[in-house]
Structure 1
Amino acid sequence: MGRDTGTDDDRVRVRPNPRGTRPRTKNRPEHANATGALVLGVDRGRYHLLLDDGTRVVGMKARELGRGARTAVVVGDRVGVVGDVSGRKDSLARIVRVEARSSVLRRSAEDGDAPGVERVVVANADQLLIVTALADPEPRPRMVDRCLVAAYDAGMEPVLCLTKSDLADPAPFLAQYAALEVPALVTSIVGDTIVGLEAVQEKLAGRVSVLIGHSGVGKSTLVNALVPDAYRATGGVNLVTGRGRHTSSSAVALALPGGGWAIDTPGVRSFGLSHVDAESLLRAFADLSAVAAECPRGCTHAADAPDCALDEWVASGTAGPAGEARLVSFRRLLAAKNGTAEA
């Protein structure tokens, strides 16, 4: 039975509204004096930040930024912080603003999710270093293809980094990507030395690079060589499944001794791409995109697409062997995008 709040009985005590009577407003403080910072890592709702003056602080996201994937703060983000920015132990700053991003590396939770369901992995990176072993574990070209799609969608430069070349010849694997003209770095381990490390250091110097790869390919070993004080955990390959064991548990930005940042990410076994459409992938292929402008409306550009201008381009001989190889590579990536999440 409900309480009669309109009674005049003095014995009835009517409590005030616990939420207060002040009207809510959509206006939020601008925090014009917020201190700039770079997000280095995220751990259970706490953000490890590097202020513009070099101070390292821990912060939390302000309530006014909201919740959910659309307002997520990720490694690589440039943010504005207020509050205690002293960096003292147990002090806590507050993230009140996320600056515009120059690039966004995204992945869908799973390929079966509805369009628009996606996660931002890293923000503001220049290049994606796709690390894969040539053996032990065996390379997974479809996984590499999916990472290439993610890089093209993000507007990042993809780079292949092949490890364990002492166990297998890299030439056959690289031949699959020759038409894409993706830069490639090859490393091997001799004793305690990583042969080819200097070329990797040169490629990463002065840039913000994301390292991604499935477990067991030697990514953490490479990171530890690039950043000697990183102490990223390393692991071997499961003898039963033939796959690597997960070692890194979260993304983290590490300052490179020669300048720039290496963002190490957890080992992945799948990379959902349901958020990527054919047109966004096609934009990474300027030569093909120009030809595809003549395609009929709604063309998928796939191998079975009717009246696709890309097929006419090849059939006419205008494309030449290089153009035809580029089209084959593009359609392979398109097929990988539409395949299963685990590859």
Structure 2
Amino acid sequence: MPTGLIVKALSGYYYVLPDDSGRVESVQCRARGIFKLKGISPLVGDRVEFELTENGEGTVDEIFPRTSELVRPPVANVELVVLVFSVDEPALNRQLLDKFLVHTESAGLETLICLTKHDLRQGAGQAVSEEEAEAGEHLELDQVIRLYERLGYPVLVTSAKEGIGVEAVRERLAGRISVFAGQSGVGKSSLLNAMIPGLGLETNAISMKLGRGKHTTRHVELICLPTGGFVADTPGFSSLDFLHVDAEGLSSCFREFAPYSEGCRFRGCLHLHEPGCKVQEAKESGAIDALRYEHYLQFLGEIREKKRRY
């Protein structure tokens, strides 16, 4: 049977790009009922075995083992997650960025932070949201970049409008399955259009009243890159649920905690108000960024509240 890669899922159909290099168009397939009985759903990014039917369509017969699986966005076999955030319009939301980072860390995926719309910030002020400004957190854009780079996250600053950083992003994605993720209106589709000439993804200006964009991407689809590999443009969203992260495991998703948590007095320390907590001491001394620690506490509260509800 032929094999291939699911590059799009839409309305119960799975579009499989055959491994046969002689065919460039995907095959529209249905999944066999056995998957539903087993509680399994094919995902974009799955490598599959399929069978062609008489009408030119096909059926997915087997899903090969996955190397990774994301719940939201639902993509399999991702090697790199590109977290796309704008430096302005909408303002950089560090809480949401840190929440995305928790998810990529928990999934064990390599992460690239991409800051878009640099043309809007040239000579401008602080890279913070209104909420962060009210909390007294005032960091310049270069300080934000240095903070995350010190944590080990590569950061690229781009402008699709001016072509800044576009080639650097393209090089990072070459030969891999990557996914673009981030809230609406940050310019994911604009950046992809700049990376792939003739792509023509729909884009929308953000709502100045709401400070966020409309959802221009409505389904997950893998886009073939000229440099080889695939990238998924995913529906924008502004919130994430902690589906697979528990309270005890959350601190391991904050890389900067690791050197200090080993010295905590109690095993399983949650770094709240336990005596002898080295993470709290590091925060007080400035070794751990205060806003990152505050986000940790917020996420911990969300996880505990969800556990109480269920």
TM class by shorter chain equals 0.7 to 0.9
Normalised TM-score (structure 2): 0.79
1:64 is aligned, of 2, 13, 34, to 34
- 2:149 corresponds to 1:184: no
- 2:271 corresponds to 1:302: yes
Query: Which residue of structure 2 lines up, in the alignment, with residue 199 of structure 1?
Result: 168
Q: CA deviation at 1:273?
A: 1.4
Query: Which residue of structure 2 lines up, in the alignment, with residue 45 of structure 1?
Result: 12
User: Contact 1:253/1:261 (CA < 8 Å) preserved in 2?
Assistant: yes
SS in 1 for 2:163: strand
2:84 is aligned, of 121, 124, 131, to 131
Q: CA deviation at 1:329?
A: 7.5
User: Contact 1:246/1:266 (CA < 8 Å) preserved in 2?
Assistant: yes
* Count of residue pairs the alignment pairs up: 281
For residues 235-285 of structure 1, give each alpha carbon's deviation from its aligned partner in whole angstroms, at most 9, with x where no partner exists: 011132121111000111011101111111011121111421245444456
Q: Distance in 1 between matches of 2:108 and 2:28?
A: 30
Unaligned 5+ segments in structure 2 are 123-140, 304-310
SS in 2 for 1:188: coil
**Could you say if the C-alpha distance between residues 291 and 67 of structure 1 is closer, same or farther in structure 2, counting changes exceeding 3 Å?**
farther
1:325 maps to amino acid: I
Query: Which residue of structure 2 lines up, in the alignment, with residue 100 of structure 1?
Result: 65
1:275 is aligned, of 232, 244, 249, to 244
Structure number, greater radius of gyration? 1
Q: CA deviation at 1:288?
A: 4.7
Q: Distance in 1 between matches of 2:108 and 2:225?
A: 22
Q: CA deviation at 1:79?
A: 1.6
Unaligned 5+ segments in structure 1 are 1-33, 108-119
* Higher helix fraction (1 or 2): 2
User: Contact 1:211/1:262 (CA < 8 Å) preserved in 2?
Assistant: yes
For residues 14-34 of structure 1, give each alpha carbon's deviation from its aligned partner in whole angstroms, at most 9, with x where no partner exists: xxxxxxxxxxxxxxxxxxxx4
**Could you say if the C-alpha distance between residues 214 and 282 of structure 1 is closer, same or farther in structure 2, counting changes exceeding 3 Å?**
same
**Could you say if the C-alpha distance between residues 156 and 309 of structure 1 is closer, same or farther in structure 2, counting changes exceeding 3 Å?**
same
Q: Distance in 1 between matches of 2:74 and 2:298?
A: 20
**Could you say if the C-alpha distance between residues 152 and 200 of structure 1 is closer, same or farther in structure 2, counting changes exceeding 3 Å?**
same
User: Contact 2:264/2:276 (CA < 8 Å) preserved in 1?
Assistant: yes
User: Contact 1:38/1:78 (CA < 8 Å) preserved in 2?
Assistant: yes
Normalised TM-score (structure 1): 0.72
Question: 1:1-343 maps to which residues of 2 (within 5 A)?
Answer: 34-54=1-21, 55=23, 56-66=26-36, 70-84=39-53, 91-107=56-72, 121-168=74-121, 170-190=141-161, 193-283=162-252, 288-289=257-258, 292=261, 299-308=268-277, 310=279, 314=282, 324-325=287-288, 331-332=293-294, 334-338=296-300
Q: Distance in 1 between matches of 2:49 and 2:216?
A: 31
User: Contact 1:133/1:163 (CA < 8 Å) preserved in 2?
Assistant: yes
Q: Distance in 2 between matches of 1:285 and 1:241?
A: 30
For residues 101-132 of structure 1, give each alpha carbon's deviation from its aligned partner in whole angstroms, at most 9, with x where no partner exists: 1112234xxxxxxxxxxxx6211111111111
RMSD (CA atoms): 2.9
Percent identity between matched residues is 32
1:183 maps to amino acid: P
